[in-house]
Amino acid sequence: MGTAKQSQNRKKFTREYKVKEIQRSITKKTRLRKEYLKALKDEGYTVPEKEPRTGVKDSVRKIKEARATEGKKKLDEKKEIKRQRKKLQRDELNERRNDELERIRVSKEKFQMREDRKKRMTQRTRSGQPLMGPKIEDLLDKIKTDDTYTS
């Protein structure tokens, strides 16, 4: 555990202790000020009045207001930037989604074309012989689309 002095020393570092110390110092300062003003009055001196420091307070107030308006402007700018960033992200997401859908559609079309071509190429007669018409048409289509045969 420790000695009484050590436990009291530990208490000095707590929040409650610091709050009490601050309150004690404030009350002490106000008490001393009151006693000083009372002594001045008893001795016949004039008690100094509180001078309104409007110039300093006004300038401080103006500075605070200016900072507040700047802060609001900065906040508005930040909000606008966030809004734009969100819009860009949304647009990019939609664009990626559309690209993906387009890619899927194209792949389905190609697959369907291959299936149709396969069906045409594997057609047979009643006796089981392969039909030559679709095969010849396929070869002609290949020749028409190939760049080496067209000039």
* Rounded Cα–Cα distance for residues 142 and 132 (Å): 15
> Is 70 inside any structural domain?
no
Q: Is this model's pTM higher than 0.75 or not?
A: no
Model pLDDT for residues 100-131, shown as the tens digit of each residue: 999 999 999 999 999 999 999 999 999 999 99
Residues 139 and 88 grouped into a single domain: yes
Is a pLDDT exceeding 70 seen at residue 49? Answer: yes
What is the structure's pLDDT at 8? Answer: 72
What is the structure's pLDDT at 111? Answer: 97
What is the structure's pLDDT at 66? Answer: 82
What is the structure's pLDDT at 136? Answer: 93
Residues 95 and 37 grouped into a single domain: no
> Is 73 inside any structural domain?
no
Element (H, E) at 25: helix 15-43
> Is 87 inside any structural domain?
yes
Residues 88 and 128 grouped into a single domain: yes
Per-residue DSSP letters for 49-83? PPPP-HHHHHHHHHHHHHHHHHHHHHHHHHHHHHH
User: What is the domain range of residue 86?
Assistant: 78-145
What is the structure's pLDDT at 28? Answer: 96
In this structure, what are the phi and psi dihedrals at residue 150, rounded to the nearest 5 degrees?
A: -105, 140
Are 24 and 18 in contact by the 8 Å Cβ rule? The answer is no
Which of 37-51, 57-71, 79-93 is most confident? 79-93
> Is 83 inside any structural domain?
yes
